[in-house]
Structure 1
Amino acid sequence: MMRFDLSDEEWAVIEPLLPNGGRGPQRVDDRRVLNGIFYILRTGAPWRDLPERYGPRTTVYNRYARWARRGIWKAIFDGLAEHSGDSLFFIDSSIVKAHRAAAGAKGGNAQDIGRSRGGRTTKVHAVVDERGRPRRFIITGGQVHDGQVLPDLLKDAGAPLAVVADKAYGSRAIRQIIADDGALAVIPSKSNARDLIPHDAGLYKMRNIVERFFCTMKDMRRLATRFEKLSRNFLAMIHIFAIRLWIN
């Protein structure tokens, strides 16, 4: 077994969540295909350089892209994440630079590639629990402010007791959204705030949980740089990474 491949224990967790083959010709072994996708995710290699042991590269790519189009990767991720009983949410974002290979898709800005200080970038917004496991993702252009995304980011993520985030999320509107969900906002006030709002300093020190999550995410070379033209394909790569975290 290669170091990127699913172990027997991991395969036992993920296999029941995969869609059945349905009618028609029997499809190439799912485990072999998934191992090929994990290889691309970890190494960042072009699809044309996929080793032959994973099967025809067109088969592996087409399975990945087709399941992205059908929302299957997100469904598998959601099926794993919904069982978390953790009570703390940590929220942050991270910029991913877009490779020139990611340019040129139809839709332009609709593909969530914007311009920020890093050039052409995509921003990954994430919610993780107290064990560093991801609960929800949204991607936007790199120039989008974190606070704009928070309402959608928290939607359907669960019901935490507290939401921990940095000053970028410190507006009164965001605090009210969190309070309306029945959670405690653990967010320091901005330095120019007229009224300083106290926060739990002990919980806030745990915010490095989400920072470490992004460090781990960017160990995946396919996520350290964006190569995918389509937003749904890049988001699928993020969900595939998250799936691996949940079954590990």
Structure 2
Amino acid sequence: MLNDECWSKLEKILLQESIDNKRNLRMMVEGILYRMRVGCPWRDLPRVFGCWNSIYKRFNAWSLSRKWLNIFKALAVDPDWEWRFMDGSYVKAHQHSAGAASQESQAIGKSRAGNTIRIHLAVDGYGLPVEFEITGGEVNDCSAAPDLIARLPDAKAMSADKGYDSEWLREQITKKGARAVIPGKRNSLKGNADMDWGLYQYRHLVENAFARLKQYRAIATRYDKLKRNYESMVAIACGYLWLPTRA
């Protein structure tokens, strides 16, 4: 998945994150990307990438130290903050993702589809991911939105669907200096008289971002037991979308 040009860009960021430049580093990263694309168990990685256990241990260690999230942030340079679009999407949790040997919550919840998680995603004016949050599938959009919005810098407008129809959420967006472009529900008392429907049409950018992320099987279905490891997989996928834009 990495041609020479993309690898030269990514290698610099890996070294900035204090990742050792070992001889097999590129093949190790390729193995992680291969697993993200096909969703196979770690032990089924082709031998061409090296020992699967070594690749998993490196991935897990970098995930524990949040290096993949930092790499995503380093790749997401110069986003278009004029407009922001936000949405959430369900992801089915595979049966192999259950049973983590940890007392911490692993963000697997119950919903109509069974065991699910939810990715809450914000994209910029170009449709590239800038922030995301992983929660259990039982967490609705309005509950996860405040933390996501708080991590975003100021913008001119924030657009979301009617699942985010909440006055206190609109107030939070307004306090950050942005205009809330969120339609009211059918039973809304305020109505949609002040809606900017022209801008709202561009909300498909966040849906397109989900479609691009979910082309990778390890994102479309969660196989990782630990929340932080699945979070790292999403960060890798988001960073991979930014990689061609790097100078």
Cα distance in 1 for partners of 2:103, 2:90 equals: 18
Q: Pick from 52, 56, 59: which aligns with 2:54?
A: 59
- The aligned residue for residue 93 of structure 1 is 88
Change (3 A) 1:9 1:143: same
- The aligned residue for residue 14 of structure 1 is 10
Change (3 A) 1:215 1:6: same
Cα distance in 1 for partners of 2:184, 2:239 equals: 34
The runs of 4+ residues in structure 1 deviating greater than 6 Å are none
Paired AA for residue 170 in structure 1? D
* Structure 2 residue 170 is the aligned partner of structure 1 residue 183: no
The runs of 5 or more residues in structure 2 that have no matched partner are none
* Structure 2 residue 218 is the aligned partner of structure 1 residue 218: no
The runs of 5 or more residues in structure 1 that have no matched partner are none
Cα distance in 2 for partners of 1:172, 1:107 equals: 38
Change (3 A) 1:215 1:27: same
Cα distance in 1 for partners of 2:23, 2:178 equals: 46
Deviations 1:90-140 (A, max 9, x none): 100100011010000134671000000110000000001121110011011
Contact 2:80 2:125 in 1 (8 A): no
Paired AA for residue 201 in structure 1? W
Q: Pick from 69, 72, 82: which aligns with 1:77?
A: 72
- The aligned residue for residue 130 of structure 2 is 135
* Structure 2 residue 199 is the aligned partner of structure 1 residue 203: yes
Q: Cα offset for 1:158? A: 2.3
- Using the size of structure 1 for normalisation, the TM-score is 0.93
For this pair of structures, how many residues does the alignment match?
241
Note the aligned Cα RMSD (angstroms).
Answer: 1.5
Cα distance in 1 for partners of 2:38, 2:113 equals: 23
